[in-house]
Amino acid sequence: MDTRNQLLMKEVDKFFKLGDISSAANYAKKILKKNADNLFLNEVMLTYFLQNNQLHHVEVYSDKIISIEPHHNEALTAKLKCVEAKELYFQAVVLIDKLLKTDPENLHLFYKKALNLISSGQILDAEKLLLQCEALNFEEVFLQLNLGHVYKAKGNSALASKHYLKFIDTQPTQIGLGHWSLADLKDYKFSHEQCIALENLLQSAQLSEGNRAFLGFALGIAYGQNSNYEASFKSMASANQIISKYRPFKAEPFAHLIKSFISQYNQPCKEPLELTSVQPIFIVGMPRSGTTLVEQILASHSKVATTDELPYIERIALDMEMKGGYVNNLLSMSDDKAKESAKQYLAQASNYLTAHEGVFIDKNPNNFMHIALIKRLFPKAKIINVIRDPADNAMSVYKQYFSNGHDYSYSIPGIIFYWQGYLSLMFHWKKLFNKDIYQLDYADLVEHPEQNIKKLLAYCELEFEMDCLNFHKSDRVVLTPSANQVRQPINNKSIDSWKKYQQSLTPFLDKFSQIKIKAKELVQ
C-alpha cells in the first residue's frame, strides 16, 4: 500500500473508531479501488450500507467478505438478511447452517432456520427445531403460533388449535392473530363462551386496530358457524374495512396491465424451446377457487411433484417491468433471453424437487396474469385455470385474511373489479392459446369427480391412477388456507354457499350475475 493510501487508511480507522461510519466509508472507497481484497475496508463498507439499509450493496460487500473469509459471522448474517428479503428460503437455510457451525447452540438461529424451513415447505424439519426451542424454553413471541402453523400444514387441527390457544393465553397483545389462526383452520368450532368473549374483546377501547381486524374476521367465522349470517357479514365487513385502510387496492396498475396485454400482445407463441425434460404444470385462477384441491389431486399421481405458490414467474415479470415495461419486453424477448429466464425459474423451482422428478406443479393463482410469459418460457407447459362460481368465490376471499397480496379482497366492489379484469384477460389468453389452457369448472369437478379427474390427467398427459381419486388420504403437507378442506373427500358443501349471505350481497347480485354468465362462457 503506497504512502497516500496509508494516510487514507489512518483516516478510515480514526472515523470508524469514532463511530462516524459515513466518513470512514468515504475514505474506504478511495482505497478499495486498488486494494479490493482488504478485509477491513470491505467491513467498513458493509457496516455503512447496513446502517443505511441498502441491501443491494450489503449483498455485494457481504459476498466479497465471505470470499475472503468464508466463516465471517457478520458478513454471513448480512447476506442472510438479503436473501430473506428476497424470499430465497433455501439459500437462507444454507447460510444459517454455516452460522450454526460457529454457534451451534444459538436458539435464535434454530428458530430462524425453522421459519425458513416452513416457508420452503420443509415442515417436518421445522417441527423438530421448533419443538427443540420449546423444550429449551426459548422465549419467542411467535413460537407457539408457528407450531400451530406446522400442525395445520400436517392436517392435525387438534394439535394446531392447542398451540394457537397457548399462543392466545401467553401473548395477550397478539390476541386477534391467535383467534384468526383458530378460525383459519376452517374446521375449528368456536364455543358460545368464546363468541361472547370475542364480542367483549371488541368492545375494548384499548384494542389495537390490527387486533380488532383479526378478531372481526374470527367472529365472522364464528357467527357463520352458528348460522347468524347477517352478523357474520357485518363482522367481516368491519374487519375488511380496517385492513383496506392499510392495504388499499391499487386498481389502476392492475387494469393497465390487462389493457396493455389485450391491446398489444396478439402474437402467437413461437416454436417450442428445447430447454429441459422438466415439465411444469401451472394451476391458476382466483384464490379460494379450488386451486389447492386440483393441486392435491395431481400431486397424488406417482409421476407428479409439488412445490408451492412459487413467486418466480412474478419476479421475472417484475424485473421486465422495471427494465422498460413488462409487455414491451415480452414482445421483444429474444430466444436467448427466454432460455435464460426459463433456466432461472427452473433453478429456483428445483430446490423443491428431487433429481428424478420430471413433472411438477406451480400453484400460484396470480400466474393467470402471466400466461403469455409462461408460454414464451415453457411453450409445452400445462396450464389449468380453475373457475368457481363468482359469488361463492367472492364470499370465500372476503372471509379470508391474506398475509400479503390480494388487496382487492377487502371490499366486495374490489373483488368484482378484480373478477372482471381476470375474466377479460382469460378470454384474451383463450383467443391466443385456445386449448393449450385447460378451463376447469370447479362445480362440475365436484359434481362429476372421476370423469373430470380422468380428463384433467389426460390433458396433463398422465395415466389415470386411483390415488388421484383418493387424494384426501395423502399425508402431504399443505401450506395454503385450504389445508384441512382438501383432506376431505370431494363434496358440494361450498356450492352456492354465497346464498347464506344473500341479504347482505343484494346490492351486488346483478354484477355477480353478469360475471357468472361470462365465467360460464369461458368454460364452454
- Tell me the pLDDT band of 325, cut-offs 50, 70 and 90: very high
Other C-beta atoms closer than 10 Å to the C-beta of 95 total 25
Architecture in CATH for domain 278-523: 3-Layer(aba) Sandwich (3.40)
For residue 482, name the pLDDT band (cuts at 50, 70, 90). very low
Instruction: Assess whether pLDDT exceeds 80 at residue 437.
Output: yes
433: left (phi over 0), alpha (psi -120 to 50) or beta: alpha
Q: What is the mean pLDDT of the chain?
A: 92
pLDDT the model gives residue 269:
56
**What's domain 141-246's superfamily in CATH?**
Tetratricopeptide repeat domain (1.25.40.10)
Instruction: Report how far residue 440's alpha carbon sits from residue 443's, in angstroms, rounded to the nearest whole number.
Output: 9
Q: Check: CB of residue 396 under 8 Å from CB of residue 288.
A: yes
Dihedral over alpha carbons 210, 216, 222, 225 (to 10 degrees): -130
Measured CA to CA, the distance from residue 386 to residue 445 in angstroms comes to: 10
pLDDT tens per residue, range 214-262: 999 999 999 999 999 999 999 999 999 999 999 999 999 999 999 999 9
pLDDT of residue 1: 61
Given a contact cutoff of 8 angstroms between Cβ atoms, the answer to whether 133 and 140 are in contact is: yes
- Percent pLDDT > 70 in the chain is 95
| H or E, element range at 6 | helix 3-18
The pTM of the full predicted model, rounded to 2 decimals, is: 0.90
In 3D, which of 257, 261, 285, 266 has the Cα closest to residue 433?
266
Tell me the Cα Rg of the chain. 26
State the Cα–Cα distance between residues 73 and 65, nearest whole angstrom.
10
pLDDT tens-place string over residues 270-302: 555 655 567 799 999 999 999 999 999 999 999
Instruction: Answer yes or no: are the C-beta atoms of 295 and 348 closer than 8 Å.
Output: no
Q: Which three cell numbers stand for residue 341?
A: 429466464
- Cell 400444514 appears where? 153
pLDDT of residue 214: 97
- How far apart are the C-alpha atoms of 264 and 332, rounded to whole Å? 12
Distance between CA atoms of 461 and 442, rounded to whole angstroms?
21
In degrees, to the nearest 5, what angle opens at C-alpha 353 toward C-alphas 349 and 355? 120
Stretch 84-90: mean pLDDT? 93
Domain ranges within the chain, ordered by starting residue = 141-246, 278-523
CB neighbourhood size of 139 (10 A): 7
Which of 448, 436, 472 is CA-nearest to residue 297?
A: 472
Burial 460-488 (b: 16+ CB within 10 A, else e): bebeeeeebbebbebebbbbbbbbbbbbe
Cell digits of residue 178: 391467535
Instruction: Tell whether the model's pLDDT for residue 491 goes beyond 90.
Output: no
